[in-house]
Structure 1
Amino acid sequence: MDLDEKLKLVMKPPTEEVVTAEELRQLFETVSRPGHYIGFEISGLLHLGSLVVAGFKLRDLNGAGVRTRVFLADWHSVINEKLGGNWERIRAAADYYREAFHEFCPGTEFVLGSDLYHCNDEYWKDMIRFSKHVSFKRASRTLSIMGRTMKEALDIASYLYPSMQGVDIHHLGADIAHAGMDQRKVHMLAREVYPKIGWKPPIALHHHLLLGLQGPSRAGLEEDEKADMAIGSKMSKSKPWTCIFIHDDLSTIGKKLEKAWCPEGETEFNPVLELVKYIVFHEFKEFRVERPARYGGEVAFATYEELEKAYAAKTVHPMDLKAATARYIDGIVGSLRAKFESRRQRLEELMRE
C-alpha cells in the first residue's frame, strides 16, 4: 500500500479530525509501523458507538500498517466511579472488552492500566513532570473528558485523570493518540505539554461521536454549541433506551429505532441517518429501502449523499428508513451478538451501575 492509500484509509469516515494531517504524512514517510493508542473506561455493555465506530477506525489503522493498541483504563474507571469504583468488577468487565474488540478488530493489541503502572517508577515520575506544567485551571477545563464540569464538587483524584491520560500516550509508545471528539481537550493538552518535557507531541486522531437515538440535546460541557450538542447527544450506555448494544437482536433494534428521533425531512442531528452514514456505508456499497409499490417501491442509494438528499426532499419516509436501517445494523452486529449470547445475562449483571 502506498503512502496516499494509507492516508486515505486513516482519514476516511468515521475520522472527523487529524491534528495535524501534515504530521501524519511525515509519520508514514519516516516510520514503517507507527504506534497507536485508544483508551476506554470500563463502564458498561458495548454499543455501536463504543465498539463498532471505534472498531471501524481500528480496522482502518490496522490496514494502513499502524500498530494499534486498546488501553483498558481500569484506574481511570475507578477514578470516574464506573461500576461503583469496584476493582474486581472493572477487571472482570475488562476481559469482556478485550474479547469483543479482539473479535471485531483482529490484530489489535491490548494493555490493562494496572499492568502499565505496576512497578513502573518512570511512569509516576513522568506523571509528576507532566503535571508540573498543568495548572489547576487548565486541568479543570479538561474535565469534560470524564463527562464532568468545573461546577461539580470533585475529589482530588479526578484532577489527576488528565495528567495520567496524557502520560499514558507516551508510555504506550503511541505516535497517534486516538479517541472520539469528546477526548480532544486532553490530546491538545498533551501536544502542549510534551515539548516542555522533551517529548515529541502525538498526532491526535478523533473519530465521530455517534448520536444516541433520543435526539439532540446539550451537555453543558463545551462553550461551542455544536461541539456541546455532539457530546450531549452521543450514544451512551447510561441511557440504554437510546443506545443500540452489540447484544441487541433484530426485534430490539427495530423497536428502538421505531422510537428514535427522526423527523421527516430533517437531516441535521438525525441519529438514524447517522447510523447509515457512519456504519452501513462503511460496510456496504449501497443502501436499499424496501417498501410497497404503492409507496414508491424498493429504492437503492449508492452513496449517503443520495440518501440524505432524498430524505430532505421527503421522498423517503422515516418508518421506511428506520426499518431498512434495522436490517443492516442487525447484519453487522449479528456475529458479535452470537458470540456473547450465552453470557448476556451475566454480563448485564456485571455491568449494572
Structure 2
Amino acid sequence: MERIDLIKRNVQEIVTEKELSELLESKEAPSVYTGYEPSGKIHLGHVLTVNKLLDLQNAGFEVTVLLADVHAYLNQKGTLEEVRKIADYNKRCFLALGLDPEKTNFVYGSDFQLSPDYMLNVLKLTCSSSLNRARRSMDEVGRKMDDPKVSQMVYPIMQAVDIAMLGVDVAVGGIDQRKIHMLAREGLPGLGYKAPICIHTPILLGLDGKKMSSSSENYISVDDDEAAIKKKLKKAFCPAGEVQDNPVLALFRYHIIPRYETVVFERPEKFGGDLECKNYADLESVFADGTLHPMDLKNGAAKYMNMILEPVREVLL
C-alpha cells in the first residue's frame, strides 16, 4: 500500500491534507502523537486510534503515546495514584496490540505537565481562550458536563499545550477530539508554536447498533476472553444485507482487514463451503447480496477478533 494511502486508511478527516502533503515532502520521519486518558478498560474504540498509530508507524512516523494521568485526574477518573496504575495497564495493552516497543515513545503526563514552562504556557493559553470555547471543547469527552468543574475547563487547554511541548507534527484522535484540536491549531501559534496537523478517526457504534457506552456493555474490551467475545457477537446487531451502520462489518473494516487483508469464513459444504474475501470491498459485496449470512459474518468476526486480542490477554495474565 502506498504511504499516503496507509496514512489515510479508515480516517474520517485530515486537517489539512495540503499541510500533510507538505510535511511528507519536507520531512522523512515526521512525528505523531495520541493521548489516552487512563480511565478503565481499553475497548475497541481506543484500539481504532492504536490501529492508526500502527499505520503511521509503518508509514515512517515517529510515534509518541501520551498516557495522560493528570488529565484523567482533572476529569474525575480517580486519584493520581489510581490513574497511574491504569496508565501502566494501558501501556501493556497498546504494546500487545502491535506498537513497536523500540520505536514508540511512551510519556506520562505527570512527567512533564507539572513543570514551570508547561504551566506558564497553560496560563498564557487561558488568556486567549474563552470559557465557552473551553466548555464546548470538553462536551464530547468530559464527565458530568452538566455541572463541570474548573479543572475540566483547564483540560482542553492542557491538551493543546501537550502538542506544543511534545514537539509533534501531527495529532491523532477520534472525531470527538476535533474541537480540542481546533483550539490547539488556533491558539498555539500565538504562543510561538506551530499549528498541528490533525488526523481524526470515526466513532464506532456499539455492538447493539447504538452509541457505545460502558453502562450498556455494548463493546468489546481487549481483555474479554474468547467465550465473552463469541457471546457478545452472537447477540450483535447485524441485519442481513445491511452494510450501513452495521457494527459487525465495522469490526472487519476498522480492526480485522487492516491486519488480515484476506479473510476466510468457514462454512459447511451444504451452505456453500468456505468463503474467502481478499479485501473489505469484497466482504461488503458478498454480505450485501446475501451470499454471506449474518451468523457466518459474526462467527468470522469472533474468530479474527480473538486472534487479534489473544496477545493482549497473554500479557495481562
Contact 2:161 2:188 in 1 (8 A): no
What's the counterpart of residue 93 of structure 1? 86
What's the counterpart of residue 6 of structure 1? 3
Q: CA RMSD in A?
A: 1.9
1:127 to 122, 125, 129: 122
Contact 2:93 2:222 in 1 (8 A): no
Q: How big is each residue's C-alpha offset from its partner over 1:98-135, in whole Å with a ceiling of 9 and x where there is no partner?
A: 222233201211111110123x2111111111121211
Q: How big is each residue's C-alpha offset from its partner over 1:21-47, in whole Å with a ceiling of 9 and x where there is no partner?
A: 111121122223222211011011222
Q: How big is each residue's C-alpha offset from its partner over 1:42-86, in whole Å with a ceiling of 9 and x where there is no partner?
A: 0112222213x222211221222211111111111112111xx22
Percent same amino acid at aligned positions?
A: 40
Separation in structure 1 between the aligned mates of residue 198 and residue 68 of structure 2, nearest angstrom: 19
What's the counterpart of residue 31 of structure 2? 35
Q: How big is each residue's C-alpha offset from its partner over 1:144-169, in whole Å with a ceiling of 9 and x where there is no partner?
A: 2424586x011111111111111111
Amino acid corresponding to residue 30 of structure 1 in structure 2: S
What's the counterpart of residue 345 of structure 1? none
Q: Where does 1:90-169 land on structure 2 (aligned, <5 Å)? A: 90-103=83-96, 104-106=98-100, 107-118=103-114, 120-147=115-142, 152-169=146-163
Q: Where does 1:1-353 land on structure 2 (aligned, <5 Å)? A: 5-13=2-10, 15-51=11-47, 53-82=48-77, 85-103=78-96, 104-106=98-100, 107-118=103-114, 120-147=115-142, 152-216=146-210, 233-234=211-212, 236=213, 238-239=214-215, 241-341=217-317
What's the counterpart of residue 220 of structure 1? none
Q: TM-score, normalised by structure 1?
A: 0.84
Q: Secondary structure at the match of 2:133?
A: helix
Q: Secondary structure at the match of 1:141?
A: helix
Q: TM-score, normalised by structure 2?
A: 0.93
**CA 284–112 in structure 1, closer or farther in 2 if over 3 Å, else same:** same
Contact 2:37 2:67 in 1 (8 A): yes
- Comparing 307-316 with 71-80, which one deviates more in the overlay? 307-316
Separation in structure 2 between the aligned mates of residue 33 and residue 214 of structure 1, nearest angstrom: 40
Separation in structure 2 between the aligned mates of residue 102 and residue 290 of structure 1, nearest angstrom: 30
Separation in structure 1 between the aligned mates of residue 197 and residue 188 of structure 2, nearest angstrom: 12
Separation in structure 1 between the aligned mates of residue 121 and residue 110 of structure 2, nearest angstrom: 16
Separation in structure 2 between the aligned mates of residue 306 and residue 168 of structure 1, nearest angstrom: 41
What's the counterpart of residue 223 of structure 1? none
Separation in structure 2 between the aligned mates of residue 112 and residue 143 of structure 1, nearest angstrom: 21
Separation in structure 1 between the aligned mates of residue 253 and residue 113 of structure 2, nearest angstrom: 39
Separation in structure 2 between the aligned mates of residue 323 and residue 101 of structure 1, nearest angstrom: 25
**Structure 2 residues without counterparts, runs of 5 or longer:** none
Separation in structure 2 between the aligned mates of residue 147 and residue 271 of structure 1, nearest angstrom: 25
Contact 1:24 1:203 in 2 (8 A): yes
Contact 2:134 2:153 in 1 (8 A): yes
Shift of 1:335: 1.4
The alignment covers a number of residue pairs equal to 314
**CA 81–149 in structure 1, closer or farther in 2 if over 3 Å, else same:** closer
**CA 105–239 in structure 1, closer or farther in 2 if over 3 Å, else same:** farther
Q: How big is each residue's C-alpha offset from its partner over 1:280-304, in whole Å with a ceiling of 9 and x where there is no partner?
A: 1101122222222333332212221
Shift of 1:315: 2.7
Q: Secondary structure at the match of 1:55?
A: helix
Amino acid corresponding to residue 86 of structure 2 in structure 1: A
Separation in structure 2 between the aligned mates of residue 27 and residue 199 of structure 1, nearest angstrom: 16
Separation in structure 1 between the aligned mates of residue 83 and residue 4 of structure 2, nearest angstrom: 36
Q: How big is each residue's C-alpha offset from its partner over 1:293-327, in whole Å with a ceiling of 9 and x where there is no partner?
A: 33333221222122222222233221111011101
